[in-house]
């Protein structure tokens, strides 16, 4: 090790502890200097050692970059899953509403409306039964479709 390196190493802590003074001139400009000004009022600033000297408090351990990225990816996946679920539900609701509207319109246009009994036989509905079924379908549509 060269002899001058011992000199540099000996005075390095002093350089880290150098005093800095803050003062404002008559024009309102803020200055930072190693020596206090002769004519202006100044105050000494306390500087922290950026290397984390003995007087520094340890930093609070926060999540690592990898943990933050993993959390971000997890939130993205959850958001995408929620959006996909919402899209599926919206598509199912829209299909049900279209079918309900189509069936109701078909019943209104038809002269005769049939249903099937428990034996699987076609049964003709009376006008009152047909109107009641149309009213039920329209109420279902109003309740569940936008």
Predicted pLDDT at 60: 63
Name the stretches of the chain with pLDDT < 70: 1-18, 47-60
Name, in order, each residue with C-beta under 8 angstroms of 42's C-beta and a sequence gap of 6 or more. Answer: 21, 22, 23, 36
DSSP states along 33-70: ESS--SSS-EEEEPPP-TT--TTSPPPPP---HHHHHH
The predicted-structure confidence for 61-84, as pLDDT tens digits, reads as follows 788 899 999 999 999 999 999 999
Predicted pLDDT at 8: 46
Predicted pLDDT at 49: 61
Q: Residue 21 burial (CB < 10 Å; 0-12/13-18/19+)?
A: middle
The percent of residues above 70 in pLDDT, for the chain, comes to 78
């Amino acid at each position: 090790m060269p002899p001058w390196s011992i000199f540099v190493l000996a005075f390095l802590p002093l350089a880290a502890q150098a005093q800095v003074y803050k003062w404002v001139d008559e024009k309102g400009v803020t200055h930072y200097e190693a020596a206090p000004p002769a004519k202006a009022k100044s105050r000494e600033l306390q500087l922290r050692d950026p290397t984390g000297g003995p007087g520094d408090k340890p930093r609070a351990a926060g999540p690592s970059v990898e943990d933050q990225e993993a959390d971000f990816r997890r939130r993205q996946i959850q958001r995408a899953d929620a959006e996909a679920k919402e899209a599926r539900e919206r598509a199912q609701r829209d299909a049900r509403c279209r079918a309900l509207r189509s069936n109701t319109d078909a019943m209104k246009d038809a002269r005769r409306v049939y249903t099937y009994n428990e034996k699987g036989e076609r049964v003709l509905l009376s006008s009152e039964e047909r109107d009641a079924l149309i009213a039920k379908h329209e109420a279902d549509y109003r309740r569940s479709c936008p």
